[in-house]
């Protein structure tokens, strides 16, 4: 199963993060170049102080403990996220920031209503009828 998934990632050419169990380290932003038998060829770059070095490494399939890939990212600087044209209309957000703010306000309003309801139940009845 892992072999097939690694082969699929190799064909896609996507960047992945790979955890090597035997070395207890992560290789970030690597590309899987080739799979031959139980050997996987990886290429990645490391930024060290004032130089960038590129590495190509052969690892055994058995030593790979985990593979992850970034699906997407959104800037937190307030830019409008790009929406693909093939995104279904039902899944599109008109204004993501406005929706987030509205949902946050509705939660605050609901909490305020809940608090007022609990306070009114806790108050003794001012007009006791006997």
Please tell me what DSSP assigns to residue 5: H
Range of the domain at 55: 2-68
Q: For the chain, how many structural domains are there in total?
A: 2
Does residue 128 fall inside a structural domain? no
Same domain, 60 and 97: no
DSSP string, 65-125: EEEE-------SSSPPPP--TTS-GGG--S-HHHHHHHHHHHHHHHHHHHHHHHHHHHSPP
The domain that contains 25 carries what CATH number? 2.30.30
Same domain, 59 and 8: yes
Convert the pLDDT of each residue in 67-98 to its tens digit.
998 887 777 777 666 666 777 777 766 655 55
Of 30, 33, 23, nearest to 64 by C-alpha is 23
pTM: 0.54
Convert the pLDDT of each residue in 7-66 to its tens digit.
888 898 889 999 999 999 999 999 999 999 899 999 999 888 889 999 999 999 999 999
């Amino acid at each position: 199963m892992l072999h097939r998934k690694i082969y699929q990632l190799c064909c896609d050419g996507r960047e992945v993060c790979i955890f090597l169990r035997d070395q207890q380290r992560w290789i970030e932003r690597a590309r899987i170049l080739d799979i031959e038998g139980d050997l996987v060829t990886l290429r990645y770059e490391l930024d060290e102080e004032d130089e960038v070095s590129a590495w190509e490494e052969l690892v055994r399939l058995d030593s790979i403990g985990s593979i992850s890939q970034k699906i997407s990212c959104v800037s937190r600087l307030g830019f409008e996220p790009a929406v693909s044209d093939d995104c279904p209309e039902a899944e599109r957000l008109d204004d993501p920031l406005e929706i987030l703010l509205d949902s946050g306000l509705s939660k605050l309003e609901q909490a305020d209503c809940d608090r007022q309801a609990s306070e009114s139940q806790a108050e003794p009845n001012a007009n006791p009828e006997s």
